[in-house]
Amino acid sequence: MTFAQAVTDRTRALQTRLCVGLDPRLDAYRDAAHLREHTLDVLEATAPYAACVKPQLAFYEALGLDGLRILEEVCAAARTLGLPVLLDAKRGDIGSTAQAYAQGWLTGRHAGAALTVNPFLGFETLTPFVDTARANGGAVFVLVKTSNPGQADLQGGGISERVADEITRLNAQEDAEYASVGAVVGATHPGDLAAFRARMPRALLLLPGLGAQGATAAQLAPAFDPGGTGALASASRGVQYASGLDVRASVDAARDFRNALNSVLS
C-alpha cells in the first residue's frame, strides 16, 4: 500500500486528519535519554488521534548519532503502531547528491515513507526523490507555500503556482485517488487553500502551522475534498509540548485538534 493510500485509509477509518509532529528539543529535557523516553511516550499516546506522524529531522540531527538512533526508534515504533511516517527534512539538491538524499531518507529503517522536499533548485531536482518514492510506495511533499511570514520573499509572484502546476503534471502520470507527489501549503494562508486544492486535485496537502503558529481548524476546510480527505493538518509544539512534558496534555491536545478538524468538515 502506498503512503497516500495508507494515510487516506487511516483518515477514513479513524476519522482523523491530524499529522502529529515530533520535534524534540534537547533544552526541554535532562538529557538525550529523557528526550527519547518522552518522545516515544507522546508518539504511542497520541497515535489513536493521528493519521500520520512527522518527525522533524533537524531536532534529531542536532543530537548527533544519539539523535539518529532515536529517530530510528521513533520510525520503528510508528510502524508498529500502524502510523505512516512523514519525515520533515526539506531536502533538495542536484544530480547524484539528490539521489543520495532520496536513498538516505526514503529507504531504510531510519527513513520515512514520505519526505518533504525543496524544489527551488529547479524541477529536475525533484526527479530522484519522486522516482525513489514511487519505487518504494512512498511520497514526497514539495514545498509550495510555506507557513512562515518570510515565504513571500521567494514564493510570491506566481512562483508557488508554478510549483503547484508541476506537482499536478507529475501526478498525472499515476492512476490513484491521491498520487505520490504531495504539497506543503501553510495552514497560515487560509485564503489560498481553496485555490491550491483546485490546482492540485490529486495531491495530498500537508498543512503546517496548526496551533503554535496560529492557524485554527476552522480555517482549513477549503483544503479538503468532499468526505474530508486530501489533506493533513500538522501540529507539533501544540501537541508534544501542549503543557510542558505532560503526556496526558499531549493526548488531550491531539484529541482536541482531531475533534476540531472533524467538526469543521462534518
- Write out pLDDT tens, residues 4-28: 999 999 999 999 999 999 999 999 9
Place of cell 503526556: 247
**pTM across the whole model:** 0.95
In this model, does residue 211 exceed pLDDT 80? no
The tens digit of pLDDT for each residue in 221-232 reads 999 999 999 999
Q: In what order do the strands lie in the sheet with 18-22?
A: 52-55, 18-22, 231-235, 205-208, 181-185, 139-145, 114-117, 86-91
Residue 54 annotated as catalytic: no
| Mean pLDDT computed over every residue of the chain | 95
Residue 39 has a pLDDT of: 98
> Cell numbers at residue 130, please?
519522486
> Cell numbers at residue 126, please?
525533484
The tens digit of pLDDT for each residue in 39-92 reads 999 999 999 999 999 999 999 999 999 999 999 999 999 999 999 999 999 999
Catalytic, out of 69, 90, 237, 255: 90
Residue 113 has a pLDDT of: 93
Residue 213 has a pLDDT of: 72
Nearest residue to 104 (alpha-carbon basis) of 82, 79, 71: 71
